[in-house]
Structure 1
C-alpha cells in the first residue's frame, strides 16, 4: 500500500572517501516482510551502504529512513527498529551466551523480566541452549554467528541488516541462519543482506539489487533480472549477475526492472 511506510527507504544516498565516490545516488525501497539481497563485487559499496543505514557513517548526501523515521534527523526512533550484524561481529569471550544477551538487552533498556525469557527463546531457536553454560571464546564461528544473530534480535527489531552473514559457516549452521532470516521476513520483518554466495541470494531473497561502482544498476526478482540480462527465464543468478556487472555502464538503461 502506498501509504504504508517502507521498512527501509534510501533516496539519492552518496558517500565519498578520499575523493572517491563509494556510494553514488543510491535509491531503493524495501517494504515490510521482504528479504532483499544486495549483491556486488568487492568495493562496490555494499558495506558502506549498510553502515550508513545503521547510522555508523554519515552520508554526504541523500536520505535514509526506517519505517518513516530519518536516520539523521530522528536517529533514536529509527535505530529502535533496526539491528545491524557486521561480517565479523564482536562478542565478549568471557561471557556466556545468556550473559551476552543480557548485556545487549541492557543496552536497549529492556527490563530483565522481559529479556531473560526472550534470550532463552532465541538460544533454543538457534540451537545454542545446550551451550548456555560455556564461555563464548570457545565457540566455533558458526556458533558465534548464531549468537550474534540472537543479540541482533533480542530487542525485537523490525529491520535486520546483515553483512555476509553466512561466510565461513558449515552447512548445518548456514541452514539454521537461513531459516531464521526467512522466518523473520515471513513474520513481517524486513531483511537486507549482502552475500557473495549467489545460491543463498537465489534461493532466499524476494528481490535482489545489483550494485556496481556505488550505483544500483538493476533490481527485481530473479526472473526480472533474468529478463533484464537477456536470459529469457533461464540461467542461474551467478550467470545473470556476471552479465549485469559486465555490461558497459553507458549502455545500461535505468536500474529498476520493475515499472
Structure 2
C-alpha cells in the first residue's frame, strides 16, 4: 500500500506546553482522510509540521516517501496546502495571485494562465477575477486558497478547516472539487470540527486529543455502528454539559 503522508514520532512543545506528543499517523494514497479533535488537540500544529510550515522538535514527516525537512523541494512539489488562518497577498487580484504563485513555482506562463482561467471558472470566481483579495468574502478566500493549492497539480492536499465560516454554496463547490480530486487518484487530508461533514466525505479518519492519535482507521472501523460524534466524545473523554444550571431560562 502506497502511503501519501507518513508522520513518525512528531513532537512539538511551546514552552512547557506539549502541543504534539510523538504523534504517528499514516494516510494511504487515494484516501479522503478526516482529522478530528477538540480545540487545542494539536491538529493544526501537526498539519503545519507535516507540510513544512513548522519545524518539529522531534520526528519525521514524509510525503510519498520524500522527507519534508531533508528534501523539501521534492516533498512540497507534491503537496497543495490550505493552512489555518490563510494569509494571502491582499493587494493582488485573484488572477494575479494565481499567476504569481504559478510563476514562483517555475511553471510555464502559458500553463499558469490556462490553469488559472479554469480554476477561477470552476470555483465560480471568474466574475471576481479583477477584484482584490482584500475585498473577498470568507468563502471566496477559501476558494482562492484552494485554487492556489491545486494550481501545480499536487498528489496530496492538506487542508486545515477548509469549510470553516464558508457559506453553503461555496462549501458545496469545495466538496465537489475535493471528491473529483480523490476520484482522479489524489489524496486529501483535512481537519474539521464538524463530525457530520467528516462522515459525509471521508473514508478514513483519525481522532486526535492531547497531541496524540487516539484512534485511526476506516470510518466504519472507528464508528463501529455508532455515530462518529458519539465515538469522538468517548475517545477524548469529553464531558457534554448543558443540562445543569440556567434555571432562569425556563422561568
Q: TM-score, normalised on structure 1? A: 0.88
What is the CA-CA distance between 1:93 and the residue it aligns to? Answer: 2.8
Which residue number corresponds to residue 246 of structure 1?
237
Which residue number corresponds to residue 110 of structure 2?
113
Unaligned runs of 5+ in 1: 228-232, 248-259
Which residue number corresponds to residue 217 of structure 1?
214
Distance 1:148 1:222 in 2: 27
Correspondence 1:126 to 2:117? no
Q: Report Cα offsets for 1:87-136 as digits up to 9, x if no partner.
A: 22222333222111001112211110110001111111111112223222
Which residue number corresponds to residue 242 of structure 2?
none
Which residue number corresponds to residue 76 of structure 1?
73
SS at match of 1:147: helix
Aligned residues: 239
What is the CA-CA distance between 1:205 and the residue it aligns to? Answer: 0.8
Which residue number corresponds to residue 90 of structure 1?
87
Which residue number corresponds to residue 249 of structure 2?
none
Flag as ranges the 4+ runs of structure 1 deviating above 6 A: none
SS at match of 1:55: coil
Distance 2:13 2:85 in 1: 23
Distance 2:92 2:35 in 1: 33
What is the CA-CA distance between 1:165 and the residue it aligns to? Answer: 0.7
Distance 1:15 1:52 in 2: 9
What is the CA-CA distance between 1:211 and the residue it aligns to? Answer: 0.5
The 5-angstrom pairing of residues 42-191 of structure 1 reads 42-191=39-188
Distance 1:240 1:188 in 2: 29
After superposing the two structures, state which structure 1 stretch, 183-192 or 238-247, moved more. 238-247
Correspondence 1:17 to 2:14? yes
What is the CA-CA distance between 1:26 and the residue it aligns to? Answer: 1.1
- 1:124/1:34 CA distance change after superposition, 3 Å: same
SS at match of 1:188: coil
Q: Report Cα offsets for 1:205-245 as digits up to 9, x if no partner.
A: 11110011111010122321122xxxxx13x2212211111
Q: TM-score, normalised on structure 2? A: 0.91
Unaligned runs of 5+ in 2: 239-251
Correspondence 1:193 to 2:190? yes
RMSD: 1.6
Which residue number corresponds to residue 32 of structure 2?
35
